[in-house]
Amino acid sequence: MEIESLSATKMNEDRLTLDNLLNNHHYKFFVPAQFFLATVTLISIASIILETVQPLERFSTLFLVIEWGAVLFFSAEYLARISVSRRKLNYVISFWGIIDLVTILPTFLGLGNLTFLKSVRILRILRLLRILRLAKISRVYLQLHDEAKTQADLNQINIAIYFLSLTSAIVGLGSVLYVIENAQYAYSNIPLAMLEASKILVGGLGQAPTATLAGEIIVVLGRLIGLALFGLLISIIGSTLNQLLFGKAEKK
């Protein structure tokens, strides 16, 4: 009985440590763990983007290693979050739980003998859903800075949010345009499509025309996102200048 009690205590301690590692931003190892997961996320997204460039096909083995390495880490994180959740089903069907699942599911589906996944292109499109993990990086950053007390702190947070939002918009919009408009050279791989996405977000200056109605709709949505980001940027600049010139926060 004593051995069983010690074993149960050790399991509870391990579970608490794992919970702190994943969810408690005051825990000393929370930042290193989240930094590691964010780094793996960015590397895996970069790998998916670069493997769409035809001259880089000779690095397909490297891209495959990166893919499976990332999937193993993300799978471990997903299972760990389920393990420490008090209401496991709530986590699984939550927004963040679904993001964690779609991060790894397409790669595992690629191992199956599924007709609709015979095309490498379809599998790659599904894997592009990993871009949603950028939202998790933003969430962790906000958790780490939830005690901002000065206007300078708030300005720093707003600048970080802006660049994270801009990066997410460029990658996301470029990926969607690649999926829809890849028959055209300007959208034939994700890096080129991201360049066009950048042009769309700043007003469409010099942007290559799209050939489909779906592409046109995405362009319009992209310009609306660009306007929203521009408004956020103006707000940040105004607040920062006010702080620099007057040394105090704007009056609401």
pLDDT digits (tens, 9 = 90+) for 26-47: 888 888 888 898 899 889 989 9
Q: Assess whether pLDDT exceeds 90 at residue 69.
A: yes
Q: Do domains 1-137 and 145-252 have the same CATH topology?
A: no
Nearest to 207 by CA among 198, 218, 220: 198
Confidence (pTM): 0.77
Architecture field, domain 145-252: Orthogonal Bundle (1.10)
pLDDT digits (tens, 9 = 90+) for 124-177: 667 777 877 877 777 776 666 666 556 666 777 778 788 888 888 998 899 889
What one-character DSSP code corresponds to residue 250? P
251 pLDDT tier (thresholds 50, 70, 90): very low
Mean pLDDT of the chain: 81
Neighbours of 246 (CB within 10 A): 9
Q: Which class would CATH give 1-137?
A: mainly alpha
Task: Tell me the CA distances in angstroms from 201 to 80, 128, 164, one per residue in order.
Answer: 38, 20, 14
Q: Where are the domains of the chain?
A: 1-137, 145-252
Residue 237 to residue 226: CA distance in whole angstroms: 16
Nearest to 37 by CA among 134, 118, 149, 157: 134
Q: Assess whether pLDDT exceeds 80 at residue 252.
A: no
